[in-house]
């Protein structure tokens, strides 16, 4: 049951441009959403989160947008840097229950 | 470094053997989670503990898998009679009670790679 979906397996952007990673979910009970970043052979690293009572959360170059009616969230990275190249996972949870992850999007930022 | 620590980082074992992974969570984190990740997929939930109590187990956790957290600190994940399909990265994560009421942020360790040959 794929409750969290990242439909783009990969994304390539030029350094300095905006990266937009998308995520869709099906479970309307999800109330907390997170983005994780993963480098090869390492565990995922927490990046940014958003509660369902908000529609935007910003942290430096990273902004997460939540559209509850569309069950869609996105991560914007501006400006993109080569060090941002990694796999990005979207995750969601309902209450304090276990977290569900998408399959990930591989971001490549070209110099 | 006071992050989540996992050991061993890599394990190659023959089919049918038993393997055990250890996880030390971040200090003062009362919840500890085990996830599994295979190539091209996101982490899949296996089980979690609140202190020493195992509160939830995924149907992915077959009878060959057992997890313990006897003193509410470190945890072990044992896989008995390993199969080739068990080859994956096993991720441990933990979370602090302070974050659990407003949205539960979990922090992962580096992962333990298992290869069953």
Residue-wise pLDDT for B24-75, tens only, equals: 999 989 999 999 999 889 999 999 999 999 998 988 888 999 999 998 899 9
Chain B interface mutation, best of A98, A100, A101, A106, highest count of B Cβ atoms under 10 Å: A98
Q: Residue A43: which of B44, B104, B110 has the nearest Cβ?
A: B110
Residue-wise pLDDT for A63-109, tens only, equals: 999 999 999 999 999 999 999 999 999 999 987 667 899 999 999 99
- Reported as a pLDDT band with limits 50, 70 and 90, residue A41 is confident
CB contact under 8 A, B45 and A99: yes
Tokens of B59: 């149907």
Is B67 within 8 Å of B46 (Cβ atoms)?
yes
CB contact under 8 A, B105 and A49: yes
The C-alpha of B41 sits at a distance from chain A's nearest C-alpha, in angstroms, of 4
CA distance linking residue A66 with residue A48, whole number of Å: 12
Is B82 within 8 Å of B103 (Cβ atoms)?
no
Is B80 within 8 Å of B67 (Cβ atoms)?
no
Is B112 within 8 Å of A40 (Cβ atoms)?
no
Interface residue ranges in chain A relative to chain B, Cβ cutoff 8 Å: 4, 6, 9, 31-32, 34, 36, 41-46, 49, 51, 89, 91, 93, 96-104
pLDDT at position A106 is 97
Please name the residue of chain B whose CA is at the shortest distance from the CA of residue A30: B103
Q: Residue A42: which of B42, B105, B110 has the nearest Cβ?
A: B110
Residue-wise pLDDT for B73-87, tens only, equals: 999 999 999 999 999
């Amino acid at each position: 049951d794929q409750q969290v979906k990242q439909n783009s397996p990969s994304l390539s952007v030029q350094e300095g441009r905006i990266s937009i990673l998308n995520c869709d979910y099906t479970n309307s009970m999800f109330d907390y959403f997170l983005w994780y970043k993963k480098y090869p052979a390492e565990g995922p690293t927490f990046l940014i989160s958003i509660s369902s009572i908000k529609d935007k959360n910003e942290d430096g170059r990273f902004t997460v947008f939540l559209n509850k009616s569309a069950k869609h969230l996105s991560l914007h990275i501006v400006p993109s840097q080569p060090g941002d190249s990694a796999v990005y996972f979207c995750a969601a949870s309902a209450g304090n229950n276990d977290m569900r992850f998408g399959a990930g999007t591989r971001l490549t930022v070209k110099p | 470094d006071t992050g989540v620590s996992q050991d061993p980082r890599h394990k190659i074992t023959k089919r049918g053997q038993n393997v055990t992974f250890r996880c030390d969570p971040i200090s003062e984190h009362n919840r500890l989670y085990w996830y599994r990740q295979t190539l091209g997929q996101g982490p899949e939930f296996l089980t979690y503990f609140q202190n020493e109590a195992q509160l939830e187990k995924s149907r992915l956790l077959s009878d060959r898998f057992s997890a313990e957290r006897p003193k509410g600190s470190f945890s072990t994940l044992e896989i008995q009679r390993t199969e080739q399909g068990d080859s994956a990265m096993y991720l441990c994560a933990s979370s602090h009670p302070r974050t659990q009421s407003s949205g539960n942020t979990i922090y992962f360790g580096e992962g333990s790679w298992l290869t069953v040959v």
